[in-house]
Amino acid sequence: MGGHGAGGRSVGSADDVYLTFRAIAEDQPGPKLRAQFERCWPSYREWFLREGEAVRPSYAVCLRMLRTHMPELVPVYERLIGAVDGDDQMARFLSLYSPTPFLAACSQAMWTRGARPALLRNYDYRSHLLDGVILKTRYTGTRVIAMADCSWGALDGINEHGLAVSLAFGGRRPVGPGFGIALIVRYLLETCTTTREAAAVLRRVPVQMAYNVAVLDREARHLTAFIAPDREPVVTAAQVSTNRQGAIDWPEHARIWATVEREQALVHCVADGQGSLDQLTRAFLMPPVYRATHAGGWGTLYTSRYLPREGAMECLWPDRSWRLGFDDFVEGEQHVRYVVRAAAHPAGPA
C-alpha cells in the first residue's frame, strides 16, 4: 500500500517535512491525470524496476488477469494508457498486477451507531512515497472520490452509492501472484453498492500481499476482510483493524508500529457505549493512533473520515480539516507541515 509518486513533497528544513495534497475532478482519464502521472513517473518507474524488470509480469499477463478478475476496469485501463501515451513498461505498471511489494501500517475503525455512520482511517507511511491526490472520477459511470495511489488506484474512498472502503497492511510477509491492493479498492468503489457485494469481490479477486480491508455502506452494514495470497479470505464483523490478522505474525513490525496499542485504543472508543463519533475522530488525531513524523518522513500522513449518508469525505490533520463531497467538490490544494519528533524513523520499506 502506499503511493510511490513523490507527487507533493518538498522539504523546507532539516526539522520539517511538507506535503501538498491536491483535489482533482476529472470524469475520465485525461489531461489532469496525465499531468500528475508525468510528475510521478520517474519515481513510479524506479519503484517498478526495483527488483528488476524481468520479475514484473508481461503486458499480456497483466491484461489477461484484468480481463479475468476485473473485466469492468479493462476499458478504463485502456483509456488510461492512452491518456498518458503509455508504453509497454507504463502499461504493465498501471495494471497493478503483481507490482513491487510495499507495506506500511495504518489504522481503521467504523462508527455504526446513530445517524452518521462513518469509516475512519489513518494512513501511516513515508511522506515522499505518497501521491497526495484526491480524485473525483466517473470511470465506469459511478461517481467516486478516492485518495489516489499509483495514478488510478485508491488507498481509501467512497462512491455515490454510499459505499466507503479503506485498507491497512495485514502484518504478514507472504507475497504471491495477485493485484496490488490499491486497484482492488478502486474496483470495489467502481462496481459495488453494498457491503455484501464488496464481500463477494474480496473473496474472489487474488491479492498480492496481506491486507485488512474495511467496508461500510449507507445502511451502516460493515465488514473487515482479512485477505492474503497464501490463505483463504476471512470476512468478519470487526469494526477496528490495524496491522494483524489474528495472531501477531511479525513481532518487530507490530512493536515498532504499536499495532496492538493502536487497536486497543480504537476498540475502547468503539465499544464504549457513552462514546461518540467526534470522540473516535479525536482518537485518530492523538497518540497512540496518530504517529508523529520521524526523520525520513515516516508517520501519519493524513486521517480520512468517510460519511456514506452525506456522500462526502473529510481529510483531517491535527490543525485542519478539508471536506470534499459529491455535491460540493472544489478543486484545490492543502499544504501540510509535519514537524519531525524523533531522530530516527521506524523501520520500514524504502
Rounded Cα distance, 80 and 82, in Å: 5
Q: Which is nearest to 305 in space by CA: 328, 326, 330, 322?
A: 322
User: Is the distance from CB of 145 to CB of 134 less than 8 angstroms?
Assistant: yes
Rounded Cα distance, 224 and 116, in Å: 19
Longest CA pairwise span in the chain (Å): 56
C-alpha cell at 75: 476499458
pTM across the whole model? 0.94
Q: Which is nearest to 326 in space by CA: 116, 114, 162, 103?
A: 162
- pLDDT band with cut points at 50, 70 and 90 for residue 114: very high
The model's pLDDT over 282-335, given as tens digits with 9 standing for 90+, comes to 999 999 999 999 877 889 999 999 999 999 999 999 999 999 999 999 999 999
Mean pLDDT, residues 67-90 taken together: 98
Mean pLDDT, residues 168-189 taken together: 97
Contacts for 211 with CB less than 8 Å, ≥ 6 apart: 1, 167, 168, 169, 170, 181, 227, 228
- What domains can be seen in the chain, in order of their start residue? 9-339 (3.60.60.10)
Query: 262 or 129: which carries more pLDDT confidence?
Result: 262
Contacts for 10 with CB less than 8 Å, ≥ 6 apart: 18, 20
